[in-house]
């Protein structure tokens, strides 16, 4: 009797499962990265890196912005923003790139910061360059419609249930990074967070 009931249930759900497996969303190629130009007071754009075919293969998309900004003191901030639609699984934690850039991670934690009228959690990584022992600060967040998180697991859980039904889920990974200079670690952190507090809302406008 149990096997008969199981068979009936299986056949009842088979058309739905088949329909879900055959239906694929249209991949919307909006190329939001070209419009990602946050106007952050005290910073000027000094360099715009080209996303080469090699980086496209690594990132899984060409919808990415990679730029260098400079503040009034002359300190540089490296900005990376990778957008996604249904290809959200192409994003990965920034630790992989940091370690691959000849750096050792010394600290890896999360922190709460204010962005506009709300508080969000972002990731913070302090690394050291193996070649010259120079310290490198990285702040990052996974952002989607209605959420900002430092956690890759949290990012995965936001998207996985929607992906089950092939929903297109736009979002982005943003990284704001700088070397710790003679002005010290606190100053390096402040310039990154100042940039991030404007860049996150700007990116959110692009995915609405």
**Nearest 5 degrees, angle CA 125-CA 85-CA 140?**
10
The encoded tokens of residue 14 equal: 């088979």
Q: Is residue 16 part of a domain?
A: no
Note the pLDDT of residue 168: 65
Largest CA distance in the chain: 78
Q: Is residue 7 part of a domain?
A: no
Predicted model pTM: 0.82
Q: Is residue 167 part of a domain?
A: yes
Note the pLDDT of residue 54: 86
Note the pLDDT of residue 3: 43
The encoded tokens of residue 87 equal: 């290809």
**Region of residue 116 (phi > 0: left; psi between -120 and 50: alpha; otherwise: beta):** left
* Count of the separate structural domains present in the chain: 1
Q: Is residue 156 part of a domain?
A: yes
Q: Is residue 65 part of a domain?
A: yes
Residue 85 has a CB neighbour count (10 Å cut-off) of 19
The encoded tokens of residue 150 equal: 């430092």
pLDDT tens by residue, 141-198: 999 998 999 999 999 888 887 766 666 689 999 999 999 999 999 999 999 999 999 9
Q: Is residue 134 part of a domain?
A: yes
Sites in the chain below the pLDDT cut of 70: 1-30, 163-168
Cβ proximity of 125 and 173 under 8 Å? no
Note down the domain range covering 195: 28-207
The encoded tokens of residue 1 equal: 């009797």
Burial class (CB in 10 A: 0-12, 13-18, 19+), 53: exposed
Q: Is residue 201 part of a domain?
A: yes
Closest C-alpha to 110, from 144, 150, 155: 150
Note the pLDDT of residue 36: 96
CA distance 33 to 146: 20
CATH code (residue 201): 3.40.1000
The encoded tokens of residue 178 equal: 């700088």
The encoded tokens of residue 98 equal: 């940091």
Q: Is residue 96 part of a domain?
A: yes
């Amino acid at each position: 009797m149990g096997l008969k009931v199981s068979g009936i249930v299986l056949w009842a759900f088979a058309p739905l499962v088949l329909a879900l497996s055959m239906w694929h969303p249209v991949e919307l190629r909006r190329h939001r990265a070209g419009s990602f130009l946050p106007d952050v007071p005290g910073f000027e754009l000094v360099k715009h890196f080209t996303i080469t075919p090699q980086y496209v293969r690594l990132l899984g998309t060409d919808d990415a912005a990679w730029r260098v900004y400079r503040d009034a003191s002359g300190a540089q901030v490296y900005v990376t923003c990778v957008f996604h639609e249904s290809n959200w699984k192409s994003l990965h934690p920034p630790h992989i790139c940091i370690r691959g850039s000849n750096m050792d991670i010394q600290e890896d934690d999360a922190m709460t910061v204010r962005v506009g009228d709300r508080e969000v959690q972002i990731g913070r990584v302090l690394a050291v360059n193996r070649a010259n022992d120079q310290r490198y600060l990285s702040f990052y967040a996974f952002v989607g419609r209605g959420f900002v998180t430092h956690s890759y697991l949290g990012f995965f859980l936001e998207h996985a249930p929607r992906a089950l039904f092939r929903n297109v889920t736009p979002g982005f990974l943003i990284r704001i990074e700088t070397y710790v200079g003679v002005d010290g670690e606190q100053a390096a952190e402040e310039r990154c967070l100042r940039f991030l507090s404007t860049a996150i809302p700007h990116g959110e406008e692009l995915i609405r």
